[in-house]
Amino acid sequence: MPITITVQISADATLPAYKTSGSAGMDLCASESVTLEPMERNLVRTGVRIAIPYGYEGQVRPRSGLALKNGISMVNTPGTIDSDYRGEIGILLINLGQERVEFKKGDRIAQLVICPIAIAELAVVDILENSDRGEGGFGSTGV
């Protein structure tokens, strides 16, 4: 069942939108032209501000096509938009490819997925209960 997200967009922005009826993420577009040299990162503006209801978060994720074709990813992926954040959505893009990549205003640069979250209450204890895995981490279950 859809939830309502209120949106404020600047004059240079493109309204986020689902590309297909089965899309999990809405496309986020650049509100400015940007060029990324190989191994360069930059904060790219979208011109979009949103109000996410309490109990939800926005996850900003890279676009798989840009990753495959150009080596474009995000420095912090997924990026989290908290329900109380009201600033402009910015995308921390990085060019991991070997060629310069140019984005024009209106180009799709990331996707936004709205997800429910659980609010945890922490209970401090002296000893944690055992599990089959125990303290094994970083490859302990196999490659």
Ranges of residues in the chain with a pLDDT under 50 are: none
**Of 88, 85, 17, whose CA–CA distance to 53 is shortest?**
85
For residue 83, the model assigns a pLDDT of 97
For residue 55, the model assigns a pLDDT of 96
Residue 70: CA atoms inside 13 Å, Cβ hemisphere, count? Answer: 22
For residue 132, the model assigns a pLDDT of 85
For residue 94, the model assigns a pLDDT of 98
In-domain check, residue 10: yes
For residue 119, the model assigns a pLDDT of 92
For residue 122, the model assigns a pLDDT of 97
Q: How many domains does the chain have?
A: 1
User: Which residues does 127 contact at the CB level (< 8 Å), separation at least 6?
Assistant: none
> Which CATH number fits the domain that encloses residue 45?
2.70.40.10
* Domain region containing 80: 6-116
For residue 80, the model assigns a pLDDT of 97
In-domain check, residue 131: no
**Backbone phi, psi, residue 130, to 5°:** -70, 160
In-domain check, residue 107: yes
